[in-house]
């Protein structure tokens, strides 16, 4: 009889330990970290296809997708360890997933480098990035050979979203990256830069009619942004679909900062790349 009771206690103890373990793991996955596999070559030489990365959600803060402002449909973001810094590698949801407009699709992920911060004025000249008039030091890390850009077919060098401005992926901008609270005046240039952002934030259509801009039928001469935005770029500049093609990234799409590579496997040979295990990502 005593043995039976003891066995029952052991079983319940194991069940309790299992439940607690599951709760802890789920909590950590929601609030602290996430793991992703790199599928492409757009972040070489920093990340290779077949790398498995660990993402720190505490930078800029864990995002709770099922909670938040129901009126605007935005997820809740908790206070993080610190804010994002320029040139950090981030994982984020694709803001233009199969759409010309910014959408909320929490199932499609990108990994790129944050080369432009809220409040920056960014431009690219000959494949070289400049922020606020200063050459971005990240050019020493990413592939920005102007000869590579020149060799690309014209159709791949012209980003469709900005073609009216005459920009190419190697000669791009300048573009001001809005910070939360920034007020911009709409004009013939800004309408191309910020229309998707304004429509995303308001849920309304912004149209031009005889040099007048109408937001859901009402005249809109200026707009104050509700979110921070970022300019994202791939380290392999000639083979990366990034902000040069699709535009600026809203903060609420950011998952977190890439911390390190915890495993790496060559997709071609199916062999482990042991030298990349537990390698930090800068």
Sign of CA dihedral 270, 273, 278, 282: negative
pLDDT at position 150: 62
Residues paired with residue 109 on neighbouring β-strands, in sequence order: 93
Beta strands, E only, 84-143: 89-93, 109-116, 121-125, 128-131, 134-135
User: What percentage of the chain exceeds 70 in pLDDT?
Assistant: 88
Tens of pLDDT along 216-258?
888 889 999 999 999 999 988 878 889 999 999 999 999 999 9
Tell me the CA end-to-end span of the chain in Å, nearest whole number: 61
Q: Which residues, in sequence order, are CB contacts of 75 under 8 Å at separation 6+? A: 63, 64, 65, 66, 67, 68, 106, 252
| C-alpha triplet 97, 99, 102: angle, nearest 5° | 75
CATH number of 36-182+225-280: 2.10.109.10
The structural domains of the chain, with segments of one domain joined by +, span 1-31, 36-182+225-280
Distance between CA atoms of 33 and 60, rounded to whole angstroms? 12
Can you tell me the distance from the alpha carbon of 159 to that of 157, in angstroms, rounded to the nearest whole number? 6
pLDDT of residue 208: 85
Please state whether 162 falls in left (phi above 0), alpha (psi between -120 and 50) or beta.
Answer: alpha
pLDDT the model gives residue 100: 80
Mean pLDDT of each 10-residue bin along the chain, 282 residues long:
63 81 73 86 90 94 73 77 93 87 85 95 91 84 61 68 87 94 92 92 88 86 94 87 93 94 89 92 89
pLDDT of 127 reads: 85
> What's the pTM value of the predicted model, to 2 decimals?
0.87
The confidence score (pLDDT) of residue 51 equals: 94
d(CA 222, CA 172): 24
Residue 54 has a pLDDT of: 93
pLDDT of residue 151: 63
CA angle 181, 182, 186 (to 5 degrees): 130
Q: How far is CA 100 from CA 28, 161, 197, 247, in A?
A: 34, 9, 11, 10
Q: How far is Cα 232 from Cα 5, in angstroms, rounded to an integer?
A: 61
């Amino acid at each position: 009889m005593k043995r039976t009771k003891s066995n029952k206690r052991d079983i319940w103890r194991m069940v309790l330990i299992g439940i607690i373990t599951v709760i802890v793991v789920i909590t950590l996955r929601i609030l602290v970290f996430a793991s992703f596999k790199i599928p492409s070559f757009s972040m070489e030489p920093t990340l290779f296809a077949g790398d498995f990365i660990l993402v720190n959600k505490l930078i800029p803060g864990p995002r709770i997708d099922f909670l938040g402002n129901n009126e605007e449909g935005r997820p809740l973001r908790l206070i993080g360890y610190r804010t994002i810094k320029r040139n950090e590698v981030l994982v984020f949801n694709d803001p233009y997933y199969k759409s010309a407009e910014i959408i909320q699709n929490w199932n499609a992920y990108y990994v790129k480098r944050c080369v432009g911060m809220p409040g920056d004025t960014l431009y690219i000249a000959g494949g070289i990035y400049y922020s606020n008039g200063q050459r971005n030091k990240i050019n020493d890390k990413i592939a920005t050979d102007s000869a590579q850009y020149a060799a690309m077919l014209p159709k791949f060098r012209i980003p469709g979203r900005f073609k009216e401005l005459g920009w190419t992926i190697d000669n791009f901008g300048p573009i001001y990256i809005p910070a939360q609270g920034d007020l911009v005046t709409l004009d013939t240039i800004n309408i191309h830069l910020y229309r998707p952002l304004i429509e995303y934030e308001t849920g309304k259509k912004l149209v031009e009619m005889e040099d007048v801009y109408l937001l859901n039928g009402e005249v809109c001469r200026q707009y104050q942004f509700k979110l921070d935005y970022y300019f994202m770029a791939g380290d392999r500049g000639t083979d990366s679909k990034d902000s040069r093609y699709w535009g600026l990234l809203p903060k609420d799409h950011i998952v977190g900062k890439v911390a390190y590579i915890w495993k790496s496997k060559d997709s071609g040979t199916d062999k482990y790349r042991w030298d990349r295990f537990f390698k930090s990502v800068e």
